[in-house]
Chains A and B, each alone.
Chain A
Amino acid sequence: MNYQIEFRDVSVSYGKDVALRDINIQIPKNEIFGIIGPANAGKTTFLKAINRTLEFIHSAKTTGEVLFDGKNVKQIRNVYGLRRKVGVVFPLPVGLPMSIYENVAYAPRRSGIHDKQELEDIVVRCLQQAMLWDEVKDRLDMLGTKLSGGQQQRLTIARALSHSPDVLCLDEFSIAIDPVTTMKIEDVLVELKSEMTIILVTNLVQQARRLADQTAFFNKSELVEVGPTEKIFTSPDNQLTYDYVTGDFG
């Protein structure tokens, strides 16, 4: 079976601190894969290992293999191409200090698309997918940083979609936005599933339950348990998982 993402004995450490220990995980294509766990469990590091942005942290050391579409990411020569295939949305919204249009057109431009019509199509499609189009369609030349927090987060999602990634990673995307918008975006994610694989890191266990096909539970740098979401939430093998999903953790 060809997985979209596969981790084989992956460990990551920052200096003396271990962030991930011997992770083995397979993420199939076109699934929503939920990752839950308390703070400092290594969830964000997991995402950074996929698109090799860990390389920007000088103290980070990785062992083991991360496979993307069957290829070891360390051996991918064009790391920028890899990063374009992975869209990432971080907890705090980041509107870049340029117009809304340019925010979304940034990545396509970098990958060599300069045709005006093509760019416009991408911008419109991504903004629509991120449920932001209706609010900003009349002011695309406004600064992205001047949007409200929730709008900026959706702009960030639109940007992550703009380079047509194969994998979309969402790191606690709903922290800074209101419940209604969160619900709307959740609907979008379900739709997007047919086009790409989605990795959903969340600290809202119910969100994972609503959306994810499979769920993994991380704790203290280790993968405690992974399995079909229903199983994780109803009859997990591990007591710790049970405590966490039922809220008895700690």
Chain B
Amino acid sequence: MPEASPATEKRFSLRRSVQKVVDFTEPAIVGLIHLCGWSAIIFVMAIFFFVFKESLPAITGIEEGDAVHAEVVKLDLVEFATSPKWIPESAKRPTFGILALMVGTLSVTVLSMLIAVPLGLGAAVYVSEFSKGKSREILKVLIELLAAIPSVVWGFIGLVILNPMIVEVTGEPVGLNILNAGIVLALMSVPIIVSVSEDALRAVPDSYREAGMALGANRWEMVYKVLFPAAKHGLLAAVLLGIGRGIGETMAVLMCTGHSVNMPTSIFDPVRTLTATIAAELGEAVRGDMHYHTLFLIGVVLFAFAFVINLTADLIVKGIKVQGNE
């Protein structure tokens, strides 16, 4: 063994003293990082827990009436799911049926997808396959800008710009209806559709494109016969995420749908959505009464919708990645 020189000895002792500090902070900080890492799980469960907790009394029963004539009232779940009547403030018999609200949400979402999916896919194909360099960057920035506009501003646009335009063009007395909300929602969900489908298209290996080109296919044939089939899972996920966005959107549909509980028969009918109902009524509902708890139950329904849609989209996207690894 070589003799330790004074210098190395000094270094060694210094090393020791620092090591002690490190030994203490390292596990602490690593523990903190792990805790934060799990935070997403914690918050998802917390969201479900608290929203469900506040809705629970509606199912288990609430005591209503004064001290003398107290009775336990329960929400009729069958009526909740199947009745088109949403009359929460009725003095005689409040009715809590969300069928019309669901139809409202669905009709607005479906219309918006009918507009957004073709446009979004077209834009994604253009951005990914036809544009290049600077112009592609600029297009992407502009489409990102669509996503950045706050939903209340979209609502405002529907209210003050689309509304009179629809009245002008169609001759309807009021322009706040499915069409209005559908258009606004379409513009809002386009960015996510474009960016997810563009990712899916770009995930297709260039060798596919080259193979397609070598066979003499033109770019459209390549997109249609090679890229679309190869990217179909990603495109489907894009559409699903767009639907998720549509179902969950609140302020814009609150301001653009006309906000009346209604089973629509045409796209010029005003409707009301699940989200808008919560936003509009929770402020007035008294904590503890049936109306309040039922609004939270709608929240649980929305949470469940979003959960299923996102889970499906995620599984589909994971599916592509697994394929890509093979």
A interface residues, Cβ below 8 angstroms from B: 78, 80-81, 111-113, 164
Contact = CB atoms under 8 A, between A and B. Distances in A.
Interface residues of B, number: 8
Contacts of B14: 111-113
A113 B19 contact: no
B258 to A, nearest CB: 57
Interface string B8-26: 1001001101110010000
A113 B8 CA distance: 11
Nearest to A112: B18
A250 to B, nearest CB: 30
A108 to B, nearest CB: 8
A37 B11 CA distance: 39
B20 to A, nearest CB: 10
A58 to B, nearest CB: 16
For the complex of A and B, 10 pairs with smallest distance between CB atoms: A112-B18, A112-B14, A111-B15, A112-B15, A113-B11, A113-B14, A112-B17, A78-B19, A111-B18, A111-B11
Interface of B: 8, 11, 14-15, 17-19, 22
Nearest to B13: A112
A164 B22 CA distance: 20
A112 B11 CA distance: 8
Nearest to B14: A112
13 contacts: A78-B19, A80-B19, A80-B22, A81-B15, A81-B19, A111-B14, A111-B15, A112-B11, A112-B14, A112-B15, A112-B18, A112-B19, A113-B11
A112 B8 CA distance: 12
Given A111-B18, A112-B17, A112-B19, 6 more contacts: A78-B19, A80-B19, A81-B15, A111-B11, A112-B18, A113-B11
Nearest to B17: A112
Contacts of A164: 8
Nearest to A122: B11
A111 B11 CA distance: 8
Contacts of B8: 164
Nearest to A115: B14
Contacts of A80: 19, 22
A80 B22 CA distance: 11
A203 B87 CA distance: 82
A111 B17 CA distance: 10
Contacts of B19: 78, 80-81, 112
Nearest to B18: A112
A41 B8 CA distance: 38
Contacts of B18: 111-112
A80 B15 CA distance: 11
A78 B15 CA distance: 12
Nearest to B7: A118
Nearest to A108: B11
Among A78, A80, A111, A112, the most chain B Cβ lie within 10 Å of the Cβ of A112
Among B8, B14, B17, the most chain A Cβ lie within 10 Å of the Cβ of B14
A199 to B, nearest CB: 19
Nearest to A78: B19
Contacts of B15: 81, 111-112
